[in-house]
């Protein structure tokens, strides 16, 4: 030890500072890399850091805290991509936002995009930024409803607004340079729930051919059982906690029967005559297994399903483009490829 100290003493001060700094960087690197390891596999580096930064247990949330979190989200600032046009239309119960891509022909194929956010976030700035990006990347006209949210407006407000938006698109989108004969629905998390509900309801009302494709991103399709292997593995410490989901479910449903397929579309008895589906899951997501169960129900009914799993990722990675750029790029490539069939579909 004395020999080591003697060697250090004869090293010039600047080199000593460099060596100490390098040693600390090595220690920090080892620490950060170790964050990736969990009892259930390895997270991506960004997911591991986000998990440490954002992880909380909101079992003690109140309705007031949900409203406050939503208000704070409206103060977030995002860089907005330029698009050809941005328009807001007031429907009887909600607003609908339209995003036209910078480069595309006319009329435009349409994506009806239902945003996520636990049924208590409304149309926050992150959704604005992402749907501009979605329009430019796909070349589709993006129609995004600002559906009513809990706790002020529990079920069935969100589902009613979502379906109202779909019916409005069928009747009016041609006036906005959209093509009512080329429609896809898209939704992530809570929005995936709404997209699935709208698709099933359209089928049930005889509008089987009105929706060509559905893209469901880690959808919340079972609000009733909430029992699965992924719930047990990832229900604590992986951003989306089981405690928070139970609290939000109770706020959203306000005592309604969660076996209702308009709350839990996985529990619908009929999965036939639904459009092809691109279903995206995150490996470290408590909703993972219910999404897989939904895909299996579709496949059993003869529906074309394209399942893509993002290894090492947490729930909520689609949308924050600056936080998860590579994952979002990969997802967008998949979505564009899946949607390409509507680019060449004959209209009308």
Taking Cα atoms as reference points, which of 141, 135, 143, 134 lies closest to residue 95? 143
Q: Cβ(315)–Cβ(238) under 8 Å?
A: yes
165 contacts: CB under 8 Å, gap ≥ 6: 91, 94, 96, 112, 143, 145, 147
Give burial (CB, 10 Å; 0-12/13-18/19+) of 323: middle
- Strand-pairing partners, residue 119, are none
Q: Return the C-alpha torsion angle 187, 191, 197, 200, nearest 10.
A: 0
- Give me the active site residues, please: 189, 285, 315
Q: Please, what sign has the CA dihedral across residues 106, 109, 114, 115? A: negative
Q: In DSSP terms, which residues pair with 37 in a beta bridge?
A: 42
User: CA torsion 235→237→240→243, rounded to 10°?
Assistant: 60
DSSP state letter for 308: E
Q: For the sheet containing 213-217, what is the strand order?
A: 85-90, 95-100, 141-146, 108-114, 178-188, 213-217, 277-284, 305-314
Q: What is the DSSP string of 154-182?
A: -TTHHHHHHHHHHHHHHHHGGGGTEEEEE
């Amino acid at each position: 030890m004395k020999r080591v100290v003697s060697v250090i003493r004869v090293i010039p001060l600047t080199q000593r500072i460099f060596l100490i700094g390098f040693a600390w960087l090595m220690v920090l690197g080892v620490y950060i890399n170790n964050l990736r390891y969990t009892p259930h596999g390895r997270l991506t580096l960004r997911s591991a850091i986000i998990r440490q930064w954002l992880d909380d247990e909101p079992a003690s949330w109140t309705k007031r805290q949900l409203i406050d979190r939503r208000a704070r989200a409206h103060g977030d600032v995002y860089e907005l991509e330029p698009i050809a046009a941005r328009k807001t239309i007031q429907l009887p119960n909600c607003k609908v936002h339209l995003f036209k891509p910078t480069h595309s022909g006319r009329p435009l194929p349409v994506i009806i995009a239902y945003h996520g956010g636990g049924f208590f976030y409304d149309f926050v700035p992150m959704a604005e930024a992402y749907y501009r990006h979605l329009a430019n990347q796909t070349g589709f006209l993006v129609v995004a409803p600002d559906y009513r949210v809990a706790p002020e407006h529990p079920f069935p407000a969100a589902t009613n607004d979502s379906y109202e938006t779909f019916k409005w698109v069928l009747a009016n989108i041609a006036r906005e340079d959209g093509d009512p004969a080329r429609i896809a629905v898209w939704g992530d998390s809570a929005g995936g729930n709404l997209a699935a509900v709208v698709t099933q309801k359209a089928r049930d009302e005889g509008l089987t051919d009105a929706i060509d494709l559905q893209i469901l991103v880690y959808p919340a399709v079972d609000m009733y059982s909430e029992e699965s292997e992924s719930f047990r593995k990832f229900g604590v410490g992986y951003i989306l906690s089981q405690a928070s989901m139970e609290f939000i479910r109770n706020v959203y449903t306000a005592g309604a029967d969660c076996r209702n397929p308009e709350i839990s579309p996985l529990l619908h008895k009929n999965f036939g005559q639904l459009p092809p589906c691109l279903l995206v899951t995150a490996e470290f997501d408590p909703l993972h297994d219910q999404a897989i169960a939904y895909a299996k129900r579709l496949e059993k009914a003869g529906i074309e399903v394209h399942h893509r799993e993002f290894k090492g990722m947490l729930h909520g990675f689609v949308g924050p483009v600056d936080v998860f750029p590579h994952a979002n790029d990969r997802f967008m490539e998949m979505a564009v490829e899946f949607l390409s069939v509507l680019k060449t579909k004959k209209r009308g």
